[in-house]
Amino acid sequence: MPLVRLDISHVRNLSSVRFEPSPQVNVIVGENGSGKTSVLEAIHLLSFGRSFRSHKHKTYIQHDNPHCLVFAQLHQIHGSPIPIGLQRHRDGQIDVRIQGQRAESVIELAERLPVQLINPDAFRLLEGSPSIRRQFIDWGVFHFDKDFIPAWRGWQKALKQRNTLLRRGKISSSLLAAFDQELIRLGEQVNVSRKAYVEQLEPHFLRVLSSLTTELSVSLQFFQGWDAQKSLASAVEMGRERDIELGYTHTGPQRADLRVKTATGYALDTLSRGQQKLVVSALKIAQGQLLIDMGRPLVFLVDDLPAELDANHRQKLCRLLESLNSQIFITSVGPDTTDFAWADTTDVRHFSMNNGELSLSSKGLQES
Ligand SMILES: Nc1ncnc2c1ncn2[C@@H]1O[C@H](COP(=O)(O)OP(=O)(O)OP(=O)(O)O)[C@@H](O)[C@H]1O
């Protein structure tokens, strides 16, 4: 569902930015610090309810302002566009509105506006802790399997309760066993969904990667968080005494990971930085492609593409994104953006960003 209109107020240096993006490619060019990334950050906020740059909401609300606001109209194939909006207050309060009605949670935004981000931090998917890769898997499963979120929430709740009991100590193995039924039932459900998703993702990932580079041979392995030969019930049962000793649940889906490997070891240890970036981009594009195949268009945010990718790979990545027929927002310190190499038939709009002011650039005006 592409964005047909975007209004951003008081996000970093963007006091008031309003524009009508192209349903296909939007190139935002501006000097360092002009506010390009803040536009992507605002779109990300509208999908995830949080920034990709900081967990502290006060950092992205414009100085001296009580709140920031991002509002958009989402295109619908049939019917008029759907208005969605998010307001974040300095005290942390978050208001989400969809079609004028207050929404219960930001998850409702994510359902309507799936967003994938490719930025210079993207390699953290390989380098960072397993929790980052679990988030990556769970984002995909969330869009793929409608039963996942209720199961995931229930399992998280059971896990938290169990860990609280373990931390307090003085709990016997038999009493703990009574609490474990729900944890096991929902944990198994979470695991089955994750496993099925990674199986679906891998062929997409390999296809995308091979269209970016033929030099790499990379595989995905899903580690479920405990011995693959055992059920979660037996892993939890066998680990109960150890959990009591440790004061937390040491085995289960909370330890799951996505292992990205080459023939000689982990991708992180064997690939160059640029190659890692290609692998991560392929993972993210593959996730997007899987959604698109399900008839769910999404928005790609691409920040600072030149970082670590040479012109040849930049072009390949742009062509690939373009072929998905999704809406793309891409930033560049430009002004020469010719190596993005969009097809003549693609609707490309160029915008200039100057000190937080966005305008359709002369290049965009000539083309429109
Ligand atoms: N809370 C805030 N309130 C007002 N301005 C802010 C706030 N936080 C950051 N800024 C300013 O907003 C601008 C944000 O720039 P942004 O990171 O979006 O720029 P950019 O064009 O992507 O730059 P680069 O090319 O260097 O990545 C910077 O000038 C920064 O100093």
CB of 63 shorter than 6 A to ligand 1: yes
Burial of 314 per CB tally in 10 Å (0-12, 13-18, 19+): middle
CA 96 – ligand 1 centroid, Å: 24
User: Is the pLDDT reported for residue 364 higher than 90?
Assistant: no
Q: According to the annotation, is 79 in a ligand binding site?
A: no
For residue 34, say whether it is annotated as part of any ligand binding site: yes
Q: How far is the CA of 36 from the centre of ligand 1 (A)?
A: 8
Q: How many CA atoms lie within 13 A of 108 on its CB side?
A: 15
Ligand 1, atom 11: closest residue by C-alpha:
13
From 11, 34, 56, the mutation candidate for ligand 1 (largest count of ligand atoms within 8 A of CB) is 34
- Determine the average pLDDT of the residues in 58-64: 96
14 CA from centroid of ligand 1 (Å): 9
Residue nearest atom 8 in ligand 1 by C-alpha distance:
12
pLDDT digits (tens, 9 = 90+) for 202-219: 999 999 999 999 999 999
The answer on whether 35 is annotated among ligand-binding residues is yes
| Distance in angstroms between the alpha carbons of the first and the last residue of the chain | 22
Q: Which atom of ligand 1 is nearest to the CA of 30?
A: 21
Task: Find the range with the poorest average confidence among 133-147, 158-172, 175-189, 328-342.
Answer: 328-342
For residue 361, name the pLDDT band (cuts at 50, 70, 90).
confident
What gap in Å lies between CA 205 and CA 264, rounded to an integer? 19
What mean pLDDT is predicted for residues 331-335?
83
Angstrom CA distances, 265 to 16, 160, 213, 219, stand at 48, 34, 19, 10
Percent with pLDDT over 90 in the chain: 81
Q: Over the chain, what is the mean pLDDT?
A: 93
**Ligand 1 and 150: CB distance under 6 A:** no
Ligand 1 atom nearest the C-alpha of 35 is 18
Report how far ligand 1's centroid is from the alpha carbon of 35 (Å).
5
Contacts of residue 37, Cβ cutoff 8 Å, sequence gap at least 6? 53, 119, 303, 304, 331
Question: Ligand 1: does its nearest atom lie under 6 Å from the Cβ of 55?
Answer: no
Phi/psi for 169 (5° steps) reads 75, -165
DSSP SS3 for 167: helix
Listed residue (288, 321, 289, 316) closest to 302, CA to CA: 321
Pairing of strands 67-74, 25-30: unpaired
Please report the pLDDT score of residue 365 as a whole number.
54
Specify the residue with its C-alpha closest to ligand 1, atom 9: 12
Is 32 annotated in a binding site? The answer is yes
Between the CA of 122 and the centroid of ligand 1 the distance, in Å, is: 19
Q: What gap in Å lies between CA 182 and CA 37, rounded to an integer?
A: 43
The alpha helices in 82-123, defined as continuous H runs, are: 107-112
- The answer to whether the CB of 64 is under 6 A from ligand 1 is no
Name which residue sits closest to atom 22 of ligand 1, judged by CA: 37
ipTM over 0.85: yes
Q: For atom 29 of ligand 1, which residue has the closest CA?
A: 33
pTM value is: 0.94
Element (H, E) at 240: helix 232-246
DSSP string, 52-78: SS-S-HHHHBPTT-SEEEEEEEE--SS
Q: Is the pLDDT of residue 28 over 90?
A: yes
Residue 117 Cα to ligand 1 midpoint, Å, equals 18
**Would the annotation count 325 as a binding residue?**
no
Query: Cα torsion at 217, 258, 313, 53 (round to 10°)?
Result: -160
37 Cβ below 6 A of ligand 1: yes
Q: In what order do the strands lie in the sheet with 265-266?
A: 218-223, 257-262, 265-266
- Using the mean position of ligand 1's atoms as its centre, give its distance from the Cα of residue 314 in Å: 24
Mean pLDDT of 342-352: 92
Is 37 annotated as belonging to a binding site? Answer: yes
Residue 97 has pLDDT above 70, yes or no: yes
CA 186 / ligand 1 centre spacing (Å): 42
Protein residue with its CA nearest to atom 2 in ligand 1: 12
* Residue 219 phi, psi (nearest 5): -125, 160
pLDDT at position 368, please?
Answer: 43
Residue 251 is predicted with a pLDDT of 96
